[in-house]
Amino acid sequence: MIEYGLLIRLITQNHLKRKQKAISVMVWAGITAYHKTSLVFFKKDQTVNKKVYLNLLKKKLKPWGQKKFGREQFSTRFSTSPQI
């Protein structure tokens, strides 16, 4: 283990270069007061447009909702999170 002070000196004196590349992941999930869906991971570099999103809702959310709520009606509310 390297001492913190030494690490700072190495970085500031360019003896040690720090590289970090962020990884991007796009995930969709659904939650209710008592249930949660499985996570859906999108393919790398996949564009999520209207067609892709509606297909996701049709193939993932609708069957999940029918299984959890049976004949009860359920509604959806959409929220987006800003990219970090």
Q: With a cut of 50, say whether residue 84 has pLDDT above it.
A: no
Q: With a cut of 70, say whether residue 8 has pLDDT above it.
A: no
Count other C-beta atoms under 10 Å from residue 65's C-beta. Answer: 20
Nearest Cα residue to 29 out of 82, 67, 81, 70:
81
Answer with the residue of higher pLDDT: 7 or 64. 64
pLDDT at 81: 59
**β-bridge partners, 31:** 36
Q: Provide the domain count of the chain.
A: 1
Query: What residue numbers bound the domain in which 56 lies?
Result: 47-75
Examine residue 51 and state whether it is found in any structural domain, yes or no. yes
| DSSP-based three-state secondary structure for 77 | coil
Examine residue 25 and state whether it is found in any structural domain, yes or no. no
3: tokens are 């001492």
Examine residue 1 and state whether it is found in any structural domain, yes or no. no
Tens-place pLDDT, residues 13-65: 665 565 666 667 788 888 888 888 888 888 878 888 888 888 888 888 888 88
pTM over 0.85: no
